[in-house]
Amino acid sequence: MSETQTVGDPRFFAQRGPFSVAEIAAVLGIEIPGTVAETRLFGVAPLQVARRDQVSFLDNRKYIGALVATRAGAVIVHPSLSDQVPEGCVALVTREPYVGWARVAAMFHPGPSSQPGRHPTAIVDASAVVDASVEIGPYVVIGPRAEIAAGCRLGAFTVIEAGVVLGEGAQVGTHCTISHAIIGARVKIFPGVRIGQDGFGFATLMQPTGPKYLTVPQLGRVMIADDVEIGANTTIDRGSAQDTVIGAGTRLDNLVQIGHNVRLGRACVIVAQVGISGSTILEDFVVVAGQAGFAGHLTVGRGARIGGQAGIMSDIPAGQEYLGSPAQPAKQFFRQMAILRKMEKGRAARMAAAANTSAPGGNASEPAREAGAD
């Protein structure tokens, strides 16, 4: 690759602007006095590569050096760093620089909007109710009695099965399969997602020849509230007799598995490769780091935080941070790690002493103790 890095390559990202410093400041809820407010900026970029006609941001003191050297026309910064902004660069001061960056970047690069129309290869059942503003891509299938609200976008090869409801402005990526689901407004579903498939439910019948597994009908639905995002290749099983529920504003990363009857509260964050077994409840604002696994029928309290690769085998109280497998409170986990490190250092010291006494010139009158002995 010989191409120079481009921020917001127009081949892939919609472009708006330019915007004046005053317009950008207004999005941040601040005012910039003087003629500098009339300066026009044409895009966004990281500190290291930003030009005089672009806006950047800093939210981590680790990169103060990049701030001092930046050639950006404006930088979104915390008040504590405003004095580090170089001369000639406009300081856009806010207490939440990263939130500000999200808003400003969206000004210049808004997400794709629905382009009304139906590709000629799409198949839409006559009983489906589809708003005229919906964008339906190539080879999309919409089943009987499905309801697709205004402003929705359906990517190529996606299947919306019978009775599914998509709320206003929902976006569904390519190659998704959605069944047995009621989905709210502005939900964003990335490519390859599977929603509403059978949960992993079966009864075991013991026979002389061995066990036989009998499938238990999965009669629940998936209920997804407004403003949820579901990452690529994530799977969400429908409930068995109850519903699987995803609360408003929750974010699921790629490759997450949600079992049947799971209930996620509002604004939860579930990072990649997390698996949540059936009938587990995560209350509002729970954050789960990557590759954590949950046994079934658990409750994780409001605002709890679960570390990466944690194994959750019992209920977690509200507001607590748990690490390790099996998971335990963070303070207890780090205390145990400190003890183990101390024990390992002691063992290494004893082994070194034993080697020294057994070497030529060592203290032969004192037999070396077995490595690791007290």
How distant is the alpha carbon of residue 257 from its chain centre?
13
Residue 177 zone, left/alpha/beta (φ > 0; ψ -120 to 50; rest): beta
Give the number of residues written for the chain: 374
Dihedrals φ, ψ of 196, to 5°?
A: 90, 10
Work out the burial of residue 208: count CB atoms within 10 Å of its CB; fewer than 13 is exposed, 13-18 middle, 19 or more buried: exposed
Catalytic site residue 180?
Answer: no
Q: Beta 328-329 vs 321-323: how paired, if at all?
A: antiparallel
- Nearest Cα to 254, choosing from 287, 275, 236, 231? 231
Give the per-residue SS3 of 94-144.
CCCHHHHHHHHHHHHCCCCCCCCEECCCCEECCCCEECCCCEECCCCEECC
CB proximity list for 126: less than 8 A, separation 6 or greater = none
Question: Beta-carbon neighbour count of residue 268 at 10 Å?
Answer: 22
Alpha helix (H) ranges present in the chain? 21-28, 64-69, 97-108, 330-358
- Options 78, 109, 180, 260, the catalytic residue: 260
- Nearest Cα to 87, choosing from 97, 65, 72? 72
Residues 34, 70 contacting (CB under 8 angstroms): no
Q: Catalytic positions, please?
A: 260
